[in-house]
Structure 1
Amino acid sequence: MPRREYHFWVYILSSRSRNLYIGMTNSLIRRTSTHREEVPGTHTARYSIHRLVYFEYFRYVRSAIAREKELKHWTREQKIELIERVNPTWEDLFLTLQEPVGFEG
């Protein structure tokens, strides 16, 4: 029986006014979709934070958790620099996402 392959992502969402939210998930499409629904009472809904502007892939959950914690302790300037290094125009990357082949999540 083949071993199950795991997928984890650390991501940054932004509002149009560049309020930021950092999170970690095992299903980037599903989690980002949830944020985009703007469920009342949530931080992301309150500030219209639903544009996926940055993400990183990890194979191991502990690595993803450690990276999320690291990014949350960065200054705002460091986070902006990270985003602009790979996404200088702050485009919403959600539409570019595809689940990994063979992934059942």
Structure 2
Amino acid sequence: MLKPGFVYMMANRRNGPIYIGSTSDLIQRVYQHRNRLIEGFTKTYHCCLLVWFKAYDDIQEARDAERRMKKWNRPWKIKRIENGNPDWRDLWPDIIA
């Protein structure tokens, strides 16, 4: 049986630092980032806005996508965000609704 997963991007403002991660529990992981419970990049750069995410049927697929996306240059990441979220709106309310 496959375990679903997500790839997501966090930022602290439009065109600010961008963090890419993957998880099997998007709500829990974004909550952790928003409340600075995870040491590292998102805590250091205050990346607490969920600006993009994509669901996958398999967590391994999500992890593979994360690894590929981390190699992207910044303009590609920005384009991905702005294709679905041109205002860099925080998507947190959408996932907890």
TM-score exceeds 0.5: yes
Residue of structure 2 aligned with 1:91, choices 85, 89, 92: 89
Question: Structure 1: how far apart are the matches of 2:35 and 2:60?
Answer: 28
SS of the residue corresponding to residue 80 of structure 2 reads helix
Question: Structure 2: how far apart are the matches of 1:92 and 1:43?
Answer: 18
Specify the alignment match of 1:34 in structure 2.
Answer: 32
Give the Å deviation of 1:28: 0.2
Question: Structure 1: how far apart are the matches of 2:70 and 2:3?
Answer: 23
| Structure 2: 5+ residue stretches without partners | none
Residue of structure 1 aligned with 2:55, choices 54, 57, 62: 57
Distance 1:40 1:97, change over 3 A: closer
Specify the alignment match of 1:21 in structure 2.
Answer: 19
Deviations 1:54-91 (A, max 9, x none): 00000112211110011100000000000000000000
Structural RMSD (CA): 1.9
Do residues 66 (structure 1) and 64 (structure 2) align?
A: yes
Specify the alignment match of 2:76 in structure 1.
Answer: 78
Poorly superposed stretches of 4+, deviation over 6 Å: none
Count of matched residue positions in the alignment of Structure 1 and Structure 2: 96
Q: Which has the larger radius of gyration?
A: 1
Give the Å deviation of 1:41: 4.4
SS of the residue corresponding to residue 97 of structure 1 reads helix
Distance 1:5 1:40, change over 3 A: closer
When the two structures are superposed, what TM-score results if normalisation uses the length of structure 1? 0.83
| Structure 1: 5+ residue stretches without partners | 100-105
Identity %: 32
Which of 1 and 2 has higher RCO (CA within 8 Å, sep 6+)? 2
